[in-house]
Structure 1
Amino acid sequence: MKTTKLTTIALVLVAAISLSSCNQKTKTETTVEKSEPTETVVVDETPDYFLLRPEVEKAYGYSHAVKIGNDIKISGAVSMDDEGNPTAVGDIEQQMKNCYADLEKVLAHYGCTFDDVVVENVFTTNMPKFLEVAAFRAEIYKNHFPTGSWLGVKELALPEFMIEIEMEVYKK
């Protein structure tokens, strides 16, 4: 009986500590030590949400990007027009170029370029066709390639979509 009570108390304490850590301030201070004086840098960690196509994103229930501090998570871009209709149907190379064009808009919103991308994940319904056109990425990533994965999937959100590209960015 005592063991059960102690276990219950321990679980309640862990839950309370976990919950209280979620309610901490949204800014963190980092002390950067230099030769003489100490410099305090305040990093704003309040989430900043960005909608590239607000009506489409609200209808599907997602934000195209979220920036917290120096980290930016970018939802998968697909080849669509401003109303959410698929574009370049059947043409994976043009769909890929359309994805990168949208991703470039999101990066520019945050003052970033493809050089700031640290993770890129590509999802495609046709890996052999993607591999035929993947060299285009060298035009996007001129200095270095990010980490990431290329994944062959059965389907994406709409059957016309052949490729989806998501990113993570670190901006100093």
Structure 2
Amino acid sequence: MKTTKFLTLGIALVAAISISSCNEKTKAETTTVEKSEPTETVIVDETPDYFLLRPEIEKTYGYSHAVKNGNNIKISGAVSMNDEGNPTAVGDFEQQMKNCYADLDKILKHYGCTFDDVVVENVFTTDMPKFLEFAGYRAEIYKKQFPTGSWLGVKELALPEFLIEIELEVYKTE
């Protein structure tokens, strides 16, 4: 009985510390930069910057399309949809892929980035043979080099009409 109480208390304490440390990460942090000259203090704003590409749709489904924290930007998976949230290019894999990259380009531009700044690209598709057929299109997107990432065949995406979803991670030096 006492062991259970201590275990419960320990779990509660760890949870409280975890929540506290997560909340503290959203505050601005002070960083000390060592140089050969006197030490300089730099204020680094670690407050996340959220971006909504289609605010009403994203609020309805409960996600942000992108979050920038420092030099890192995480971009949620883009699918082929219009501003009302309806699937577009239904049944046309190649056009859905191009629509995904067009939306991703809008988000990158919002942050002053290009596809050259992308370090991770994860592709989710319900039709891997079709993706492989059109994967060469990516050479038009990534002019300098390809990012790391994964290509994953999945059973389904958010709506049955979606054939492909692409998410990105970006590193942008200021």
Per-residue Cα deviation, 1:21-49 (whole angstroms, up to 9, x for no partner): 23326112222223323333322111211
Name the residue aligned to 2:138.
137
Name the residue aligned to 2:57.
56
Distance in structure 2 (CA, Å) of the matches to 1:98 and 1:83: 15
Q: Where in structure 1 do 4 or more consecutive aligned residues deviate above 6 Å?
A: 1-6
| Residue type at the aligned position of 1:142 | K
Name the residue aligned to 2:151.
150
Deviation at 1:2, TM superposition (A): 7.6
1:17 paired to 2:17: yes
| Residue type at the aligned position of 2:46 | E
Distance in structure 2 (CA, Å) of the matches to 1:8 and 1:125: 43
State the SS of the aligned residue for 1:74: strand
Deviation at 1:158, TM superposition (A): 1.3
1:43 paired to 2:39: no
The farther-off stretch of 17-26 and 155-164 is 17-26
Deviation at 1:11, TM superposition (A): 4.6
The farther-off stretch of 112-121 and 2-11 is 2-11
Distance in structure 2 (CA, Å) of the matches to 1:136 and 1:17: 47
Distance in structure 2 (CA, Å) of the matches to 1:107 and 1:39: 32
Structure 1, unaligned runs of 5 or more = none
Matching of residues 1-172 of structure 1 within 5 Å? 10-11=10-11, 13-24=13-24, 26-172=27-173
Give TM-score, length-normalised by structure 1.
Answer: 0.88
State the SS of the aligned residue for 2:53: coil
Structure 2, unaligned runs of 5 or more = none
Identity rate of aligned residues, in percent? 81
Deviation at 1:108, TM superposition (A): 0.8
After superposition, the CA RMSD in angstroms is 2.1
State the SS of the aligned residue for 1:23: helix
Distance in structure 2 (CA, Å) of the matches to 1:5 and 1:84: 49
Distance in structure 1 (CA, Å) of the matches to 2:158 and 2:166: 13
Per-residue Cα deviation, 1:146-166 (whole angstroms, up to 9, x for no partner): 111100011111111110001
State the SS of the aligned residue for 1:18: helix
Distance in structure 1 (CA, Å) of the matches to 2:22 and 2:152: 33
Distance in structure 1 (CA, Å) of the matches to 2:133 and 2:153: 14
State the SS of the aligned residue for 2:157: coil
- Count of matched residue positions in the alignment of Structure 1 and Structure 2: 172
Per-residue Cα deviation, 1:108-163 (whole angstroms, up to 9, x for no partner): 11111111111110001100010011011111111121111100011111111110
Give TM-score, length-normalised by structure 2.
Answer: 0.87
